């Protein structure tokens, strides 16, 4: 009897895996088509300068709205794309779209307060030998300054091969781009490691912001990250700011920038460009 059960379980698991694999392959096939047809879009979520009380920058977030499946979250298709060269194609398209936006609408963005855009990089894209060429040719194609671009790298990415990562980071810095560490606090690196990396800014992960100001641990962790980053000469930005309480806490901790639904959702470009312009 036990034997029978065992067999059934194997059959059960393998059909589960089979379905998962089929679903993955289905998404991958559709994704290839969507990329080829240029159907991926870039949304921008504004970031807010707490000291000056206005927007100062934005983060590009890729969006895929499929005819049949509707909105497919990046977490789902980015993970699949990262297993193949598709992530490099997506990444290149995002860089191109961001540079195009800055080139065509830089004046409007500046009037809104947005002086540059941050782009997320996956490990496979960051370590690819094409990355620097891709960035430089996009900068040239749209005649924009590297100072208007920031790249967000995750802790796990830089820890994968720190020696190589530092060299690439230095090259991006030499171009004039800003660098930040995304989702800080969720990976295996530590604040002590930060000083080895040529970065400008630390992005405190949303999971810590969610608990402030009530959860004692989250308060301790986020204020320690901010204080230590400042001691190392780095700026800080908090992601996932959803309430006035989050904002007040971060202002009190002297966090430089915030990003989250409380300030603005990620916006399609036409909505981004329709944000109020400052009177100055
Ligand atoms: P991330 O870089 O940490 O981006 C922040 C995520 O938090 C975004 O999710 C954003 O929509 C969401 N978010 C912003 N404010 C709030 C808030 O107040 N509350 C909550 N609950 N969420 C908020 P999204 O757009 O689904 O992206 C998820 C992840 O996918 C990103 O996390 C990033 O790792 C990846 N991703 C997105 N676009 C790209 C891209 O162009 N290239 C690469 N390589 N990865 C990307
Ligand atoms: Mg990010
Ligand atoms: Mg993040
Ligand atoms: Mg995050």
Q: Considering only CA atoms, which of 234, 113, 121, 109 is closest in space to residue 172? A: 121
| Structure confidence by residue, pLDDT tens digits, 112-122 | 999 999 999 99
| pLDDT above 90 (res 137) | yes
Closest ligand to residue 61's CA: 1
- Closest residue by Cα to atom 45, ligand 1, is 120
**CA gap 176, 57 in Å, rounded:** 16
Distance between alpha carbon 164 and the CA centroid of its chain, in Å? Answer: 21
Ligand 3 centre distance from Cα of residue 181 (Å): 8
Cβ of 260 below 6 Å from ligand 1: yes
pLDDT at residue 177, rounded to an integer: 98
pLDDT at residue 17, rounded to an integer: 79
The DSSP secondary structure of 175-242, one letter per residue, reads HT-EEEEEEETSSS--HHHHTTS--SEEEE-HHHHTTTTT-HHHHHHHHHHHHHHHHTT-EEEEE---
- Pairing state of beta strands 201-204 and 178-184? parallel
- Closest residue by Cα to atom 11, ligand 1, is 266
Residue 221 in tokens: 């962790």
Cβ of 46 below 6 Å from ligand 1: no
**CA gap 170, 179 in Å, rounded:** 10
| Structure confidence by residue, pLDDT tens digits, 210-227 | 999 999 999 999 999 999
The pTM is what? 0.94
Ligand 1 atom at minimum distance from 183 CA: 3
């Amino acid at each position: 009897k036990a034997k029978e059960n065992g067999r059934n379980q194997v059959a059960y698991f393998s059909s589960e895996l089979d379905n998962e694999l089929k679903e993955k392959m289905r998404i991958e096939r559709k994704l290839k088509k969507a990329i080829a047809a240029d159907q991926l879009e870039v949304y921008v979520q504004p970031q807010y300068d707490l000291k000056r009380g206005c927007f100062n920058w934005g983060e590009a977030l890729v969006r895929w709205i499929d005819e049949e499946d509707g909105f497919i979250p990046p977490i789902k298709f980015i993970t699949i794309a990262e297993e193949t060269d598709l992530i490099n194609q997506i990444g290149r398209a995002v860089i191109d779209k961001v540079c195009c936006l800055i080139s065509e609408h830089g004046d409007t963005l500046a009037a809104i307060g947005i002086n540059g855009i941050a782009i997320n990089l996956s490990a496979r894209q960051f370590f690819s030998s094409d990355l620097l060429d891709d960035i430089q040719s996009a900068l040239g194609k749209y005649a924009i300054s590297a100072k208007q671009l920031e790249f967000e790298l995750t802790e796990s990415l830089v820890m994968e091969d720190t020696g190589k990562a530092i060299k690439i980071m230095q090259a991006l810095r030499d171009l004039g781009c800003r660098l930040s560490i995304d989702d800080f606090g969720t990976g295996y690196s530590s604040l002590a490691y930060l000083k080895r990396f040529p970065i400008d800014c630390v992005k405190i992960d949303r999971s810590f912001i969610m608990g402030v100001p009530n959860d004692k641990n989250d308060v301790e962790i986020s204020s320690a990250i901010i204080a230590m980053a400042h001691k190392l000469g780095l700026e800080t930005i908090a992601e996932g700011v959803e309430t006035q309480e989050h904002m007040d806490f971060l202002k009190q901790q002297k966090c430089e920038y915030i990003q989250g639904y409380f300030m603005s959702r990620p916006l399609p470009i036409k909505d981004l460009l329709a944000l109020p312009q400052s009177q100055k």
